[in-house]
Amino acid sequence: MSNVSELHATNPAGEYLAFTLGQEEYGIDIQKVAEIRSYETPTRIANAPDFVKGVVNLRGIIVPIVDMRIKFNLGTPSYDQFTVVIILNIGHRVVGMVVDRVSDVTTLLPEQVKPAPEIGAAMKSDHIVGLGTLEERMLILIDIDKLMSSADMGLVETTALAA
């Protein structure tokens, strides 16, 4: 199966930050994470898409804040003491991502990463790079660069990623 070797070539095993959105657990490459902050209400921006909650001033840098629960259509988000913002460095941009909670940093070995299933055209899943399996847990592994630079997000220019 060339899919598995292709997956390992493009997304080798490594360390992932595990976080929860609704009932599902996701993972992103820990090297993309700059910091984890508690949620604070961002300043709204007119005409921004629903999933862009607004912006915050992070030590002089204006950072767009994306609520992944809205982006992935996971119902109405609620904000509590566990809600956090993961600050990401993607290309030459800093972006904040709101998630329900962060659980841990997990190391995945090559045999623990399975290819993402083909879901069909109804659901865009090109940002899902695989599934990480850990005993009873399953992490949906996201290529956060690809997700944040996708045309519908429009937060990070693809040229910035290539640089």
DSSP codes joined into one string, 84-134: EEEEEEETTEEEEEEESEEEEEEEE-GGGEEPPPP--TTS--TTEEEEEEE
Q: Residue 91 falls within a domain, yes or no?
A: yes
Residue 104: other Cβ atoms inside 10 A: 9
Write out the residue range of the structural domain in which residue 39 sits. 12-150
Q: Residue 3 falls within a domain, yes or no?
A: no
Neighbouring residues of 61: CB distance < 8 A, sequence distance ≥ 6: 94
Neighbouring residues of 150: CB distance < 8 A, sequence distance ≥ 6: 124, 126, 127
Q: Residue 93 falls within a domain, yes or no?
A: yes
CATH number of the domain where residue 19 is located: 2.40.50.180
**Tokens standing for residue 43:** 């300043």
**Cβ-contact 82, 94 below 8 angstroms:** no
DSSP, collapsed to helix, strand or coil, labels residue 61 as: strand
* pLDDT, tens digit only, all 163 positions of the chain: 334 434 434 545 799 999 999 889 999 999 999 999 999 999 999 999 999 999 999 999 999 999 999 988 888 889 999 999 999 999 889 999 999 999 999 999 999 999 887 765 445 567 888 999 988 899 999 999 988 887 766 665 544 444 3
- Which one-letter DSSP state was computed for residue 24? E
Tell me how far apart the alpha carbons of residues 141 and 18 are, in angstroms, rounded to a whole number.
9
